[in-house]
Structure 1
C-alpha cells in the first residue's frame, strides 16, 4: 500500500513537471522579436516592471510568457491590450489613452503655463507704464532755473581754464 502511494506521488510530480515543460517549450518556439509582440510589451506597464530587464525580472518574464501564449492562440495586439485594460484597468498601460478626460489632463499643464506667461507679460507692462508717467523721458528730478545757471557757469569757468 505504501509503495502504491509513492508511485502515485511520483506520477503526479512527473505529470506536473511535464505540464510545466510543455508550456515552457510552447513559448520557447515563440519569436519574442515580432513587431506586434514588441508593440504590446512596450504599451504595458507590467505592474511597474515594464522598464526592467527581462533576464533579471521574474514578473516581466511572466508577462512575456503570458502575452506570447495569448498571441500563439491567435489574439491580436488590440485584443491583448483590451484584455489587460479590462482586467487591470488603465493603470495596466504605460501611458493612458489620449482621449476624453485623459486628453484634458495631458493638455492642461501647457495651457496653464501659457496663461501664466501671458499674465506675467501683461503685469510687467502695466508696472512699467506706471513707473514712468507720460511725457517724462528721464528719471532724474527737474532742476530749477537757478541750479541750471549755476551749473552752466561752473562748466564755463572750467572750460576757460583749459583754453
Structure 2
C-alpha cells in the first residue's frame, strides 16, 4: 500500500517536472533558437536574429530579450510570436516567405518564367538547326540520295586504295 502511494507520488512528480520547466527558456534552448532564427535582423547585416553578430547592433539584443519574455512570461509559442512580429513589421522581417497567397506566387513565378523561357529558347535553336540543315542539303529525288552518297564514298575509298596499295 505504501509502495503503491510512493509510486503514484513519484509518477506525479515525473509528469509535473517537465511541465514546470517548460516556461524556463534561456538563450541556449532550441526553442529560443527556432523563434529568433525565423526573423531577419533589421540592422542590415543580412542574418537572422539568432546569428546576428554585428558590432553595435542594439536591435538584436532588444529583440532577443523581447522573445525570451514572450516565451517565459507570456507563454507565447512560435506561431504567436511570428504573428506578433509580422503584424508589427510585415512579412519583410521573415527569413522565409509564407507558403500561401501572394508570397508563394511572388517566389515561384520567376522560376516558372525562367523555365518557360529556357524551354522556348531550346525549341527555337532546334528549329533553326533543322532549317539550316535542310537548306544546306541539296534536294535529290527519293532513293537517289542514298545511292549517290554511297557511290561517291566507294569511289573515294577505291582511289585511296589504289594510291597506297
Question: Which bracket does the TM-score occupy, shorter chain normalised?
Answer: 0.5 to 0.7
Whole-Å separation in 2 of the counterparts to 1:69 and 1:112? 44
Structure 2 gap ranges (5+): 1-23, 139-154
The aligned residue for residue 59 of structure 1 is: 59
Whether the 8 Å CA contact 2:39–2:94 is kept in 1: the answer is yes
Whole-Å separation in 2 of the counterparts to 1:55 and 1:68? 21
The aligned residue for residue 77 of structure 2 is: 76
Whole-Å separation in 1 of the counterparts to 2:97 and 2:136? 57
Whole-Å separation in 2 of the counterparts to 1:54 and 1:132? 61
What is the DSSP-based 3-state SS (H/G/I as helix, E as strand, rest coil) of the residue aligned with 2:37? helix
One of 39, 47, 58 as aligned partner of 1:44? 39
Name which one, 1 or 2, has greater alpha-carbon Rg: 1
Whether the 8 Å CA contact 2:41–2:52 is kept in 1: the answer is no
Residue 136 of structure 1: how far off its partner (Å)? 3.1
The aligned residue for residue 94 of structure 1 is: 95
State the TM-score, normalizing by the size of structure 2: 0.59
Q: Provide closer, same or farther for how the CA distance between residues 75 and 54 of structure 1 changes in structure 2, counting only shifts above 3 A.
A: farther
Residue 54 of structure 1: how far off its partner (Å)? 7.3
Residue 57 of structure 1: how far off its partner (Å)? 2.9
Q: CA offsets, 1:105-149, max 9 Å, x none?
A: 221122112111211121112111211228937xxxxxxxxxxxx
Whole-Å separation in 1 of the counterparts to 2:136 and 2:25? 81
Residue 43 of structure 1: how far off its partner (Å)? 0.5
How many residue pairs get aligned? The number is 117
Root-mean-square deviation (CA), in Å? 3.2
State the TM-score, normalizing by the size of structure 1: 0.59
The aligned residue for residue 103 of structure 1 is: 104
Residue 61 of structure 1: how far off its partner (Å)? 0.7
Whole-Å separation in 1 of the counterparts to 2:136 and 2:89? 69
What is the DSSP-based 3-state SS (H/G/I as helix, E as strand, rest coil) of the residue aligned with 2:134? coil
